[in-house]
Structure 1
């Protein structure tokens, strides 16, 4: 027999009470969730507020005693033209003239900072260049004469020394670390427009800027930098110097928020050498190089992207002694990946003279490790890059390929294009104005010495290299071109 369970009647009051209790629990849960969200938001906003300095006053007070004003004095000849002119974009100091037509004393103003208790001071080379007298004014108002210890025009850095003890000083920080990233707060200090000690603040606007120097590694900032700030420090929020204020980009000579400070990563090495030797002693590899461009990737075996530095010439020196060759692509140097030629120059320049350095190159599609003993750049900069001897061809061949009209070298062409007696290769005598070769800057008189990274001494050689590249399915061919003795690689499309 089937029995049905009798249902207990539920009153409307009980139902209403249950609904009320449920709504109450939901309201409590929502309230707790809302309060948690508000607290979390408050914590985030508080953390963000803590990242923004409420004031720079404490930092300015701590570092001010180490920052100095610099006045230089120079005896110059009488005025022969407009005075006070400075290179565009640099906060070079104004000169104050005291007469015309006769020798006069010219003064200039700049900034600097003390880096040791015994009186070593860092500034810009252009602040003290050519000065007969250098006077340092400290934050306290005390003035002392300074001795020039050494300069480096390549990075625009100079080191001075005053006869003093127990001076307040600042230390260099790591310009590649936290505190010097794009967006981080920074503070500049110096003597803008001769107004005396002054502070400005901003952020790091960009990194790794290059202006015109071989070793440039500038920090760009929107902290105000004006004439007179040259040589002053750029501080991070810990009070460490991460840059030396050097230049501005401006249409009117005043700050528009685009200033440049040479990074401490470059400056510290220069300062150490100037203090020890009174001059720089940079490593020297002894090669001519160029960037690897995207259009070269297909033309070079083993390349998958446009990275590294391609060697265009190897004169007598460390690289030649180690077995490096034109056409090699340097991909790592002393354990550092090489992105481009600028980075390689900076790494080599910061390396000690005489160091045995491992170098990994790409040659004929294979990676090879070589060891190079670095020379000294300063003693090798004037060395000539030799070229190999060759007897000019008597019965030249000619051809038209890739938008180029090419000829083997004759005495007539040597005279026409001022080629060296020992020059070998095939000379460009004409170029199709609408060709890729023209768009890449090749000119009549340029000499092609390699095609496909193989030497070319005759027209047949060049034609064979082009045919081999096409048979191999390449889209382009790499040419080594010399103009006035200066070599560079150029990749041309094989569809021309």
Structure 2
């Protein structure tokens, strides 16, 4: 995503922003874009899924079967009321063309990113200060494998070997951990329920800005 400043003597009309959190599977959506440079076009489909992860755990895409092709990236995904509920980003395809799996950045994520870019010139995300054992992730477990000294996790008394059972009352999974991380801002509190040697503990962790070094 990028933020552009437009200097104009004309009064410009902006699109109404919808709440992508209110989307339901089966909702009708319209994808606007310029596929293959043919000019502005609109395709119609439904919301196939939400919270789709693609390539990295920070992603949280809306999946739609509205036709999205090369040239649609950056175009609006709107609801039937004309409100922006996503930005078309990419497709999952074996042919390079639309195969009914289009992915869009949700409007709530767009607003968060855009506001950060305007205010700070960069996207600010919370830093947790601990690492996860990837071998345990393959077994469905979330086990702390490293802790940065004087980082948020260290200050919250999280320990190596702790098994994270819940994150903000959601199941302690790798996906949930990084989606909570991606959605958080520095200074926000994340509640962890951990299993430490068969003892259940409640730990409150306050995110910080990721150190530049």
Q: 2:147 pairs with 314, 318, 332, which one?
A: 314
Secondary structure at 1:216's aligned position in 2?
A: strand
- Tell me the CA shift for residue 286 of structure 1: 0.8
What does residue range 122-137 of structure 1 map to in structure 2 within 5 Å?
none
Which structure shows the higher strand fraction?
A: 2
* Corresponding residue of 1:364: 197
CA–CA distance in structure 1, aligned partners of residues 169 and 49 of structure 2: 22
* Corresponding residue of 2:207: 374
CA–CA distance in structure 1, aligned partners of residues 194 and 91 of structure 2: 38
* Corresponding residue of 1:262: 105
CA shift in 2, pair 1:320/1:278, >3 Å: same
Q: Deviations over 1:220-264 (max 9, x none)?
A: 111111111111111122222221101112233222222111222
What does residue range 37-436 of structure 1 map to in structure 2 within 5 Å?
157-164=1-8, 166-177=11-22, 180-290=23-133, 309-316=142-149, 317-333=151-167, 335-377=168-210, 379=211
CA–CA distance in structure 1, aligned partners of residues 173 and 4 of structure 2: 34
Q: CA RMSD in A?
A: 2.3
CA–CA distance in structure 1, aligned partners of residues 159 and 124 of structure 2: 25
CA–CA distance in structure 2, aligned partners of residues 329 and 268 of structure 1: 33
Conserved in 1, the CA contact under 8 Å of 2:29 and 2:66? yes
- Tell me the CA shift for residue 325 of structure 1: 1.0
Secondary structure at 1:274's aligned position in 2?
A: helix
Conserved in 2, the CA contact under 8 Å of 1:338 and 1:344? no
CA–CA distance in structure 2, aligned partners of residues 284 and 228 of structure 1: 35
CA shift in 2, pair 1:218/1:332, >3 Å: same
CA–CA distance in structure 1, aligned partners of residues 114 and 144 of structure 2: 30
CA–CA distance in structure 1, aligned partners of residues 129 and 171 of structure 2: 16
CA–CA distance in structure 1, aligned partners of residues 17 and 72 of structure 2: 18
CA–CA distance in structure 2, aligned partners of residues 238 and 365 of structure 1: 52
CA–CA distance in structure 2, aligned partners of residues 267 and 290 of structure 1: 31
Gaps of 5+ in 1: 1-156, 296-305, 383-496
Bigger Rg over Cα: 1
What does residue range 436-455 of structure 1 map to in structure 2 within 5 Å?
none
Conserved in 2, the CA contact under 8 Å of 1:173 and 1:240? yes
CA–CA distance in structure 1, aligned partners of residues 163 and 81 of structure 2: 41
What does residue range 441-480 of structure 1 map to in structure 2 within 5 Å?
none
Conserved in 2, the CA contact under 8 Å of 1:284 and 1:349? no
CA–CA distance in structure 2, aligned partners of residues 265 and 339 of structure 1: 23
TM normalised by structure 2 equals 0.87
Which structure shows the higher helix fraction?
A: 1
- Tell me the CA shift for residue 336 of structure 1: 4.1
Gaps of 5+ in 2: none
CA–CA distance in structure 2, aligned partners of residues 183 and 349 of structure 1: 26
Equivalences, count? 210
